[in-house]
Amino acid sequence: MYADKGTFNAAINKGLKIIGSDINIKDLEYYAARHTFGSTARNKCKLSRDHVASALNHSLPEFKVTDTYIEEDWSIVDDVQEKVIKELIKCEKAIKSKK
């Protein structure tokens, strides 16, 4: 559906602009969302750098061969995402309780 990562990123940014408008976050972008996700996963949820990298779909050239021998386990990514979502909900509740 998308010719390359640029068109994919553009489509995500378009959707995030709509979401940002709905939740009153001006100029919500893919880069910022990925940065927030990665920082939350690593610093708040205390998840391993490797698991955060997997959830962000990052790969390292030095592990290219090794990765061909490891079956992808998407439950790890699911776990990272679940923990980040729970952390963000916790933060949102804390902010609302201060109002």
**What's the confidence (pLDDT) of residue 60?**
80
R_g over Cα of the chain? 16
Q: Using DSSP, state whether 72 is helix, strand or coil.
A: coil
Two structure tokens written together for 10? 């553009």
The angle, 0 to 180 degrees and rounded to 10, between the axes of the packed helices 30-39 and 5-22 is: 80
Structural domains of the chain, count: 1
pTM for this predicted structure: 0.79
**What's the confidence (pLDDT) of residue 46?**
98
How do the pLDDT tens digits run along the chain, 99 residues long?
Answer: 778 888 888 999 999 999 999 988 888 999 889 999 999 999 999 999 999 999 998 888 888 899 899 998 899 999 999 999 999 999 989 988 987
Q: What is the torsional sign of CA 28, 31, 34, 37?
A: negative
CA proximity to 37, closest of 12, 56, 23: 56
- Give the end-to-end CA distance of the chain in Å, rounded to a whole number: 44
Could you tell me the residue range of the domain that residue 13 belongs to?
A: 5-98
